């Protein structure tokens, strides 16, 4: 059973240790939305904890209750809080997959940089691959081989198979020992496919891409983390040069591959 923020009178009196800074502009729902998230974090509210009333929140921020209500609906839409009829609003258990699903949908309706997406993906995959391949099951390895076969068939036929390419990476990264990184990458993969960010390549580049994926797959299916990381970085070095995005992993992991 979660902590109670108290009766409405207790909550309205400011039961929690940290209040909420007043909003300077009443026109920005996103700012209220962000401030409410700050309040939950700053006060270490846990799943099952009750939020203060709309009236108290509105008074703290210096905005109207309709604005508070709209921002709370946004938090509920992404699964951060829930409404219990006749009782109040409560913090929910955080489900990163649900939250990132809304993030992906929101991202798709905005213009985004292919380069930014690629750079982010590289950083996350390089961070996670060594541990991920060590956790691969025999079934995972079979799926990797299937995706690689589909890639080879497409490339030898003069086309690309983005689904198979991403599918192979997806299988590997689903075993990342950091669930948030795994969920973030899953969202990035969805954006990559939906945004069709893979450019058209001449046949020789397709064969080079296939060769690099074969090296990644070979290391992954024998659960060799360091070799898989080395092969992945080699692949991203080629990709970054071809697509013209910055190899930011050098700033984080150093210029050397090992």
Per-residue model confidence (pLDDT) at position 2: 57
The CA distance from 69 to 46, in Å, is 21
CATH code of the domain in which 72 resides:
1.10.10.10
Answering whether pTM is above 0.85, one says no
Q: Are residues 77 and 170 in the same domain?
A: no
Q: What is the DSSP string of 15-72?
A: -SS---PPPS-TT-HHHHHHHHHHHHHHTT--TTPBPPPHHHHHHHHT--HHHHHHHH
Residues 6 or more apart whose Cβ sits within 8 Å of residue 59: 12
- Together in a domain, 134 and 233: yes
90 and 105 in a single domain? The answer is no
Per-residue pLDDT at 206: 83
- pLDDT tens for each residue of 173-198: 999 998 888 888 887 887 777 655 44
Closest CA to 221 of 121, 147, 124: 147
Task: Clarify whether residues 234 and 106 are in a common domain.
Answer: yes
Q: For residue range 69-95, list pLDDT tens digits in order.
A: 988 988 887 678 889 988 999 988 766
Tokens read off for 15: 């039961």
At residue 245 the predicted structure's pLDDT band, cuts being 50, 70 and 90, is confident
Residues 104 and 228 placed together within one structural domain of the fold: yes
Same domain, 62 and 119: no
Residue 142 makes CB contacts below 8 A (sequence gap 6+) with none
Is 1 inside a domain boundary? no
Instruction: State which residues form the domain around 225.
Output: 100-253
The per-residue pLDDT for range 38-51, each reduced to its tens digit, is 888 888 888 899 99
Q: Give the pLDDT score at 210.
A: 93
State the CATH number of the domain containing residue 141. Answer: 1.20.120.530
User: Residue 3 domain-assigned?
Assistant: no
Q: Is the pLDDT of residue 8 over 70?
A: no
In angstroms, rounded to a whole number, what is the distance separating the alpha carbons of residues 100 and 85?
27
pLDDT at 144 over 50: yes
- Domain count along the chain: 2
Examine residue 168 and state whether it is found in any structural domain, yes or no. Answer: yes
Judge contact between 61 and 25, C-beta under 8 A: no
Domain shared by 108 and 222, yes or no: yes
* Among candidate residues 257, 94, 255, the one with its CA nearest the CA of residue 180: 94
* Residue-level pLDDT at 243: 78
């Amino acid at each position: 059973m979660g902590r109670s923020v108290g009766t409405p009178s207790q909550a309205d009196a400011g039961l929690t240790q940290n209040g909420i800074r007043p909003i300077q502009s009443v026109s920005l729902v996103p700012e209220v939305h962000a401030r409410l998230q700050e309040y939950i974090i700053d006060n270490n509210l846990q799943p099952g904890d009750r939020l203060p009333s709309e009236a108290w929140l509105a008074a703290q921020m210096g905005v109207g209750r309709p604005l508070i209500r709209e921002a709370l609906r946004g938090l509920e839409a992404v699964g951060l809080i829930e409404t219990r009829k006749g009782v109040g609003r409560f913090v929910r258990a955080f489900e990163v997959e649900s939250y990132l699903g809304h993030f992906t949908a929101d991202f798709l309706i905005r213009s985004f940089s292919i380069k930014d997406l690629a750079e982010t993906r590289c950083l996350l995959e390089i961070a996670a691959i060594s541990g991920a391949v060590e956790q691969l099951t025999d079934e995972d390895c079979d799926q990797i081989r299937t995706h690689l076969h589909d890639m080879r068939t497409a490339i030898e036929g003069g086309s690309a198979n983005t689904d198979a390419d991403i599918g192979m990476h997806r299988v590997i990264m689903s075993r990342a020992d950091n669930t948030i990184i795994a969920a973030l990458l899953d969202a990035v993969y969805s954006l990559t496919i939906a945004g069709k960010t893979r450019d058209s390549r001449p046949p020789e580049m397709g064969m080079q891409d296939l060769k690099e994926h074969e090296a990644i797959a070979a290391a992954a299916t024998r659960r060799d983390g360091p070799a898989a990381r080395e092969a992945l970085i080699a692949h991203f070095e080629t990709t970054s040069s071809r697509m013209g995005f910055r190899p930011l992993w050098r700033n984080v992991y150093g210029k050397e591959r090992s």
